[in-house]
Structure 1
Amino acid sequence: RRGVAASRREAQRRDTREQLYALAIAEFRRVGTQNARVHDIARAAGVVPGTFYFHFPTKDHVVFEMWLRNAQRFIERLDALAPAGGEPGLAHFLRAVADAMIDVEEELAAPDLVRDSLGLLLRPPDGTSLDDDPIGRTIAGHLAAAAARGELRAGALPPDELAQILLTSAFGALAAAPDDPAERRRRLRRTLDFFAEALAPAR
């Protein structure tokens, strides 16, 4: 009986967290992250503000979670554009990274939220980390495969370090780019093309 009660409380906790997340994202879309008030989000969920802070220490933690939740969409899109064992070539893969990022951005259809999330990816909120980011792991895996095929120059950094540098550069390029999707795609492709040339083996 005690175990059933504990399971019920845990299910309720998860439901409350999910409700707060959904309401927060909706409010961020409506008025912007900076203008959104935790009090309003909590009231819409029928809880006190302290409950919000129990699940999300700050509004930034909600935006950071949005990024992590959309990571799987990015990975699926990347796998469709550059499947493992598919067309070889580092340049092709990095173009696929750029296109997958912009495709997911366009699906979100929330430029301000995307901009907020990019800022947090460059400076993650307290208590969070990109060290175990699924996107970073996926890109590192592709880079390791490229290295095994001899497509990275000798002396290149380990794939996991390269992946973090690539992502940080990509986030920086997008943070500085205008909202126009075509221009964002062009700038991101150009940034990652630079890495493709820099990492290619000497001819």
Structure 2
Amino acid sequence: MAESPVGSVREVRRLETRARLFDAALAEIAQRGLAAADVSAIAAAARVVRGTFYFHFPTKEHVLVELERIEETRIISELGHARGDLVTVLSRLVSQVLGAEIRLGTLTFRDMLGLHFSSSRPVEDELAQHPLAEFLIGVIGQAQDGGRVRADADPAELATFFLTGLFALLATGAHDAELLHRYVITIVKGMEKP
């Protein structure tokens, strides 16, 4: 059964409203930070009533989770095929994640990563909702298949350890190029066969 023209017009309007809210929320978060971001100000900037925000996003945190998914998808597309040894691939990944900080601004970037360590982060169970983790599991699995990573290692656990540590370093701002390089080397040494 074909969708009626009225239904498709409603869907277009719904998506336009959602996009305005998303953009307004990101602007508010970039200016004030997640904790201080005001839903009423977001709704006013998007030219809707406050309740419309909650129709599209149950919480402000949901906006950043969606932003993270968009950024992760972008990072993966920029990485392309994972070629090279683990140090090379993980170093490229770190570089791409740092690029997100430049695109998003430090405040939004740190709030987004900080959600990984917050009890207010919306719960997501599906791996598909974590494109960067899925990508990294594949990279580690390929290295394992190639005999470079221990056979008894769990690629999902290794990917989780790597990303959790990386996000913690980046969320605090307590990092520099040398520290991030040592982090990658240390993690890879722990993964590789002796």
Same fold (TM over 0.5): yes
Q: How many residues align?
A: 191
Give the % identical residues: 33
Contact 2:33 2:111 in 1 (8 A): no
Judge which range, 135-144 or 183-192, deviates more. 183-192
Give the corresponding residue for 1:77.
78
Deviation at 1:168, TM superposition (A): 1.2
Contact 1:75 1:135 in 2 (8 A): yes
Give the corresponding residue for 1:196.
188
Give the corresponding residue for 1:154.
151
1:108-138 CA distances to partner (integer Å, 9 max, x unpaired)? 2x11111101111334623435632111111
1:148-172 CA distances to partner (integer Å, 9 max, x unpaired)? 1111023211x22322222112111
Q: Give the structure-1-normalised TM-score.
A: 0.84
In 1, the alpha carbon distance for the partners of 2:90 and 2:22 equals 32
Deviation at 1:60, TM superposition (A): 1.2
Deviation at 1:101, TM superposition (A): 1.3
1:33-53 CA distances to partner (integer Å, 9 max, x unpaired)? 222211111112221110001
Q: Residue 113 in 1 paired to residue 108 in 2?
A: yes
Letter in 2 for 1:57: P
Give the corresponding residue for 1:92.
88
In 2, the alpha carbon distance for the partners of 1:17 and 1:129 equals 23
SS across alignment from 1:36: coil
Contact 1:24 1:41 in 2 (8 A): yes
- Aligned ranges 1:128-167 → 2 under 5 Å: 128-129=124-125, 131-132=127-128, 133-157=130-154, 159-167=155-163
In 2, the alpha carbon distance for the partners of 1:65 and 1:184 equals 27
Unpaired segments ≥5 residues, structure 2: none
Deviation at 1:72, TM superposition (A): 2.0
Q: Residue 174 in 1 paired to residue 176 in 2?
A: no
Give the corresponding residue for 2:40.
39
SS across alignment from 2:36: coil
SS across alignment from 2:127: coil
In 1, the alpha carbon distance for the partners of 2:15 and 2:37 equals 23
Unpaired segments ≥5 residues, structure 1: none
Q: Give the structure-2-normalised TM-score.
A: 0.88
In 2, the alpha carbon distance for the partners of 1:22 and 1:195 equals 36
